[in-house]
Each structure stands twice: as C-alpha cells, then as structure tokens.
Amino acid sequence: MNISDIMTVDPITVQPETTLGDAGRIMLDQRLSALPVIDRDGILLGILTDGDLLRRPELDTAPAIGWWRGFLEPETSADQFVKTRGRRVSEVMTEKLLSVTADTPLIDAVDLMQSHRIKQVPVMHGTRLIGLLTRRNVLAALISRLPVADDLIVSDDTIATTIEAAITQSHWAPKNMVRITVRAGVVTIAGPVFSDSERRAIIVIAENTSGVKSVDDQMVFVDSTSGVAFGSF
C-alpha cells in the first residue's frame, strides 16, 4: 500500500501571516491536528500542529526564560520567546519538516512517523504540497480492512484446521500441546502455555480465523523452570 491510497488530498492550509486565533479556530472547526503553511506561490514553509500550541503564557504553560539562560544562550532564549508567545502562524509553526512522496510505501511512512514521534507527514511533489498523511488516515485505512462479522458459514473442522495450521507456522507457540476444538463456531483452546503473551497470541489467531464466533480460553499456565501447572489464567 502506498501513501497515495489513503492520504488527505489537497489538505486545508494557512499562510504564514494567518493569526494564531484564526488558525486555531480552523483546527477546531475542521477537527484537525495540523495545518500545512504555504506561501502565495503554494510552496510549503512549515506546519502548525496542536503540539506547537501547548506552551503558551495564556495557559500558564510557557517555560520561564531566566536571566542566566538568557545571558548564556541569548539566541536560543529569543527563539523560544517567539515560539511560545508569537501571534502569527509563521512565528509558532514547525519549520524543520520531514516529508514523503505519494508513491512512498505506507510502511516507510509509518516507520518515519513512529521513529520521529510525529502525527502527520506532508506529501510532496517536488516543492508542491499535494497531500497530508495523518494518523487518522492510517486508522481509517485499518478500520476499512478489518474483517467484519458476517454470516459466512465455515465448517468446524475447517476452523480447527486453520487455527492449528496458524499455530504450527508460528515461531513462538507451544505447537504440540495446545488443543483446539470447535463446536458451532465456538472455539475452545486448552492445554499448557508458558506465558500470558503466548496465551493472548493464540487467542488472537483464533479470533482472526474466518467463521469463529467466540473463543473459550481454557489454557493453563505452566512454569517453564519447574514444570508446575498453576491452573487457568
């Protein structure tokens, strides 16, 4: 999947001279967490995010700039003063941006967002902004692809075989000890496991199997060191 499949095309933008109040109202009215900032030629200059608005004297959240820091780091202190007290988008926006192109694989964009802890990435064509990829876009793509409960009839034997095959193919499950039985789409899982992580992962395998209506967990925890079983979770 590429970014072009799920990105917001032609996102709402503001200009650098837009007031913070106007930009904030747009974000609230449109339920946006970020606004790309472009000049009159459509060139991307930066992005205003809700994170840029957290440290403000109006909220008593702006960091204090003491005389000692101002003396040692006058340029940094001045930049921080503008960032936290500016009234125009250009004064507060994030200017150092990471960007992607429309044909960037989604997995690469998600890696970028996660590693840099950002919620949105501008999508560029040269110097032109053509879209915006947000976490909301990723969530919408996920929801549209999650399996939906339906009336598909799958035999109990097929369900059991599918679950057993998935467990066998995993690299972590106790393959020969978990017992799967299915009746009318209800899966019962029994047998020993050596951690709660294994238990939850096996349940997820069953839940993701077509035709499963519910899962009855009867697995028991076994201490891998002593071999002692401690009963069901």
Residue 229: what pLDDT?
60
Say how many C-beta atoms besides its own lie within 10 A of residue 86's C-beta. 15
Q: Is residue 39 a contact partner of residue 139, using CB atoms and an 8 Å limit?
A: no
What CA–CA distance (Å, rounded) separates 15 from 133?
20
- Between the alpha carbon of residue 116 and those of residues 7, 44, 57, 121, the distances in Å are 19, 20, 27, 11
Residue type for 87, please?
Answer: R
Residue 219: what pLDDT?
92
Low-confidence residues in the chain, pLDDT < 50: none
Q: Is residue 175 a contact partner of residue 201, using CB atoms and an 8 Å limit?
A: no
User: For residue 200, what are the contacts with CB-CB under 8 A and spacing of at least 6?
Assistant: none
Residue 19: what pLDDT?
96
Q: Is residue 212 a contact partner of residue 187, using CB atoms and an 8 Å limit?
A: yes
Q: What is the pLDDT of residues 176-188, one digit of tens each?
A: 789 999 999 999 9
What CA–CA distance (Å, rounded) separates 184 from 201?
22
Residue 4: what pLDDT?
92
Q: Which domains occur in the chain, in start order?
A: 3-145 (3.10.580.10), 156-232 (3.30.1340.30)
Report residue 48 as tokens: 């205003």
User: For residue 7, what are the contacts with CB-CB under 8 A and spacing of at least 6?
Assistant: 102, 123, 131, 132, 133, 137
What CA–CA distance (Å, rounded) separates 76 from 51?
19
Residue 31: what pLDDT?
93
Residue 194: what pLDDT?
86
Residue 6: what pLDDT?
94
Pairing of strands 100-101, 214-222: unpaired
